[in-house]
């Protein structure tokens, strides 16, 4: 129970922070500046001086972000990790043994028995692990996980000699190389693992569950060894491995419903790999192209390294043509969550791919497109004619039923996932994604809600009881989680129909519903969980604040809502005890929306504080009784939100940069409207902004510059502009063209890393 003095203190803190939020935002918006033509018409064309165009520049920069180990990691969240979006490996000491373990796990390997639920029947399944078995006792390691090469290299020192090793993963093959010196020798051993849910660590199998059959082994005609794992529910996992001198190549295949196709797949993967050297060459080419798509540098060494490690991590964990990330990514360890979670985890996992210009990693949009029939089958039979949905957790095929609205279950998870797909559309302006996936699936997701909206005595439409993820009370009616998603969904459907030229018969309904929908439940502390249900106990999710972030339906550009936003966020964190890592990253992004970069950074740092209950781990992974990949990835999105935002049709450059970060470089940061933004900040002042249009969309820029602006197209001619007020400039920028915006004399247009002003240790165990 909170004492009266404590309550007074909380109220005072709300008032102070609310005032601070308003002040920060006001300070962040410069006085209105008018774009004027340069004093010398016909000035020469300009171009950026991009210093990050060579392998040597990238190698040097990323080497400073690498993870290092001088101590042997003993747990998965301490060690190096490799992946190619499908196959994944964690490297650490074999528990209780004098060996190095290389886990072998695959994002497509799952069970296929929906009757037992996602925790047991359609869960991810273990594959196995490889061990490097030294002769002597391990006394030291010296490892580097090179981001530029996406390769682990280093040495293992023992009492009798040294093992020099290297490892990469590419094209579903784990390639391991080792060389022995002194009295050591190279011994690689593959250990299959039982095909049973990792959830066994927390509970017994459900009634009627039959274990999968044991694996069998065989030797292929070319000498390749195979482990074949048949599955009771159909399908097969096959692991093939081949020694090449002291090197080992391991490939994994999974097939369903075929019970034999995986055998051929795993052998084909090894044949395609050929050798460590040839696989590595293809692997390195892929990663070289990957990193060059965008660039960010800022002066906090620890967080800068963290950010680049998250880009490496998400590219190791996802590909657009692969399975959607489960909560553990491709790295499966004992966990209560061996599936895909749709009520927050999945959404947070994919946010950072947009700004970083890596839409090629978007397996979420692919999953929604490919599994539309399953999304229909997930709703009760009475609603399948026009509705779709997905439950809290599922396999990679989105196979999880949705409870009927009014029975207290989660109803909005598909709609929230579609917001991610909408972001991918807005960052690419790819109409095929809108036409073939977002529009038809969102139409059905909102239809499911519409079946249950009922008129009240107040003349408003109300929603029966649903669960606000994952607030632990009796599910209320009119949850803010669902009201926000309904409003966003209806608005987005109207906009989509206009873009696609569809005269949909439901457009009048989509206009009517938000107008008559009950207002968001609010009390003296801000947004409630739902009608008659205040936010009254600590809650890790921010499901009741979805209208603020990431939907931005209620936002800081609406002065009438600023006090409500401020007290809602403060009250959310004032009740402590249940917060987790993403509670801090979510708050950081909300404060970034307000322009308060210092408070945003203070919340982000809570995720890295080792004294918190669930901090970021040594290798930048995160655990709550098992791997939970979304939180570190969402922390990178919080950094994005400090550097560049593009909601509401406005690009905001450097909207919430912390005071201590005087220098920041952005290059080819992708925004909504399919723009690529490059910008440089020095000594706390924005020097220039360059924007390239990929789709010819309207450009509204909140630039943060003061004084008279120069706005030039790439041929040196003045761009046509309009001052929209609030420091926002409308710029006519055709598709394929670039514009440069600066004040004062033309600055040096250099894209380069910034100097580190806050040194920090490398990640890993340096």
Residues 360-365 have a mean pLDDT of: 98
Percent of the chain with pLDDT over 90: 93
Q: What is the pLDDT of residues 598-616, one digit of tens each?
A: 999 999 999 999 999 999 9
pLDDT band at 32 (very low <50, low <70, confident <90, very high): very low
Separation of alpha carbons 210 and 206, rounded Å:
9
Angle in degrees, 0-180, between the axes of helices 276-291 and 301-317, rounded to the nearest 10: 120
Mean pLDDT of 671-696: 98
Q: Does 362 lie in the same domain as 241? A: no
Looking at the structure, do residues 271 and 382 belong to the same domain, yes or no? Answer: no
- Say whether pLDDT at 12 is over 90: no
- How many domains does the chain contain in total? 2
- What are the helix (H) ranges across 430-475? 431-433, 439-450
Domain span at residue 379 reads 339-645
37 lies in some domain: no
**Per-residue pLDDT, 40:** 52
Give, in order, the Cα–Cα distances in Å from 130 to each of 92, 191, 331, 432. Answer: 11, 6, 14, 43
- Residue 270 and residue 367 in one domain: no
Is the same domain home to 464 and 403?
Answer: yes
Q: Classify each residue of 295-316 as buried b or exposed e, where b means 16 or more C-beta atoms within 10 Å of its C-beta.
A: bbbbbbbbbbbbbbbbbbbbbb
- Smallest CA-to-CA distance from 535 within 563, 581, 573, 564 is with 573
Compute φ and ψ for 175, nearest 5 degrees: -110, 125
Q: Answer whether residue 527 is part of any domain.
A: yes
Asked if residue 36 is part of any domain, the answer here is no
Q: Is 173 part of a structural domain of the chain? A: yes
Same domain, 362 and 509: yes
Residues β-bridged to residue 151: 146
Q: Among 614, 645, 676, where does a domain finish?
A: 645
- What distance in Å separates the CA atoms of residue 641 and residue 652, rounded to the nearest whole number? 9
Tell whether 225 and 85 lie within a shared domain: yes
Is the domain of 230 the same as that of 350? no
Q: Binning pLDDT at 50, 70 and 90, where does residue 43 land?
A: low
Q: Tell me if 583 is assigned to some domain.
A: yes
Q: Is residue 280 part of a domain?
A: yes
Tell me: do 270 and 345 sit in the same domain: no
Answer whether residue 130 is part of any domain. Answer: yes
The yes-or-no verdict on residue 23 having pLDDT over 90 is no
Confidence class for position 33, pLDDT limits 50, 70, 90: very low
CATH code assigned at 380 = 1.50.10.10
Residue 20 lies inside a defined structural domain of this protein: no
Same domain, 354 and 270: no
CATH number at residue 241: 2.70.98.50
């Amino acid at each position: 129970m909170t004492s009266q003095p404590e309550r007074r203190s909380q109220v005072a803190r709300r008032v102070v922070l609310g005032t601070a939020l308003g002040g920060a935002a006001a300070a962040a918006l410069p006085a209105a500046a008018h774009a004027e033509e340069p004093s010398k018409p016909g000035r020469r064309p300009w171009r950026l001086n991009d210093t990050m165009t060579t392998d040597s520049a990238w190698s040097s920069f990323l080497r400073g972000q690498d993870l290092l180990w001088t101590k042997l990691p003993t747990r998965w969240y301490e060690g190096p990790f490799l992946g190619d979006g499908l196959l994944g490996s964690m490297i650490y000491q074999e528990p209780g043994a004098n060996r190095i373990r290389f886990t072998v796990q695959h994002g497509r390997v799952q069970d296929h028995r929906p009757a037992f639920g996602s925790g047991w029947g359609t869960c991810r399944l273990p594959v196995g692990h490889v061990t490097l078995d030294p002769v002597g006792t391990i006394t030291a390691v010296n490892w580097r996980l090179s981001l530029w090469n996406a390769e682990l290299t280093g040495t293992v020192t023992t009492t009798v000699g040294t093992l020099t090793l290297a490892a990469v993963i590419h094209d579903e093959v784990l390639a391991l190389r080792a060389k022995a010196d002194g009295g050591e020798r190279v011994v690689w051993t593959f250990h299959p693992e039982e095909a049973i849910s990792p959830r066994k660590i927390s509970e017994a199998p459900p009634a009627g569950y039959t274990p999968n059959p044991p694996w069998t082994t065989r030797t292929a005609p070319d000498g390749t060894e195979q482990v074949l794992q048949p599955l009771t529910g159909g399908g097969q996992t096959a692991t093939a491995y081949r020694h090449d001198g002291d090197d080992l190549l391991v490939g994994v295949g999974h097939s369903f419903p075929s019970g034999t196709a995986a055998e051929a797949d795993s052998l084909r993967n090894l044949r395609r790999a050929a050798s460590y050297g040839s696989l590595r060459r293809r692997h390195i080419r892929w990663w070289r192209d990957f990193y060059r798509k965008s660039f960010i540098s800022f002066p906090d060494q620890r967080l800068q390294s963290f950010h680049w490690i998250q880009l490496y991590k998400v590219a190791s964990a996802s590909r657009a043509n692969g399975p959607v990330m489960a909560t553990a990514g491709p790295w499966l360890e004992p966990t209560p969550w061996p599936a895909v979670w749709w009520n927050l985890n999945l959404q947070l996992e994919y946010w950072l791919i947009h700004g970083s210009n890596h839409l090629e990693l978007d397996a979420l949009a692919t999953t929604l497109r490919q599994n539309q029939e399953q999304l229909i089958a997930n709703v009760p039979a009475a609603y399948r004619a026009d509705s779709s949905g997905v439950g809290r957790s599922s396999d990679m095929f989105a196979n999880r039923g949705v409870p009927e609205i009014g029975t207290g279950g989660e109803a909005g998870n598909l709609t929230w996932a579609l917001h991610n797909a909408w972001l991918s559309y807005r960052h690419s302006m790819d109409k095929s994604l809108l036409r073939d996936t977002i529009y038809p699936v969102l139409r059905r997701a909102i239809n499911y809600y519409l079946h249950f909206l009922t008129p009240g005595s107040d003349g408003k439409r109300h929603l029966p009881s649903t669960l606000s993820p994952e607030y632990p009370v009796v599910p209320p009616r009119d949850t803010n989680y669902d009201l926000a998603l309904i409003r966003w969904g209806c608005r987005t459907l109207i906009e989509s129909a206009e873009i696609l030229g569809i005269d949909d018969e439901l457009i009048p309904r989509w206009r009517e519903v938000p107008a008559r929908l009950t207002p968001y439940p609010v009390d003296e502390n801000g947004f409630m969980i739902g009608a008659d249900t205040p936010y009254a106990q600590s809650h890790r999710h921010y499901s009741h604040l979805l209208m603020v972030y990431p939907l931005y339906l209620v936002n800081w550009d609406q002065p009438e809502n600023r006090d409500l936003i401020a007290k809602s966020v403060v009250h959310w964190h004032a009740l402590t005890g249940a917060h987790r890592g993403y509670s801090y990253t979510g708050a950081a992004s909300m404060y970034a929306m307000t322009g308060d970069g210092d408070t945003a950074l203070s919340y982000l740092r809570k995720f890295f504080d080792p004294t918190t209950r669930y901090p970021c781990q040594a290798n930048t992974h995160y655990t709550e009784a098992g791997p939970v990949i979304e939180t570190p990835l969402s922390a990178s999105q919080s950094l994005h939100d400090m550097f560049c935002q593009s909601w509401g049709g406005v690009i905001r450059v450097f909207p919430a940069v912390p005071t201590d970060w005087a220098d920041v470089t952005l290059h080819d940061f992708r925004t909504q409207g399919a723009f690529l933004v490059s910008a440089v900040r020095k000594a706390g002042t924005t020097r220039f902004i360059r924007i390239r249009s990929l789709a010819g969309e309207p450009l509204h820029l909140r630039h943060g510059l003061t004084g008279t602006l120069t706005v030039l197209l790439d041929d040196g001619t003045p761009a046509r502009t309009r001052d929209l007020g609030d420091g926002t400039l409308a710029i006519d920028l055709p598709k394929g063209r670039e514009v440069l915006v600066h004040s004062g004399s033309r600055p040096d247009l250099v894209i380069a890393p910034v100097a580190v002003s806050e040194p920090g240790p490398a990640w890993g165990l340096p």
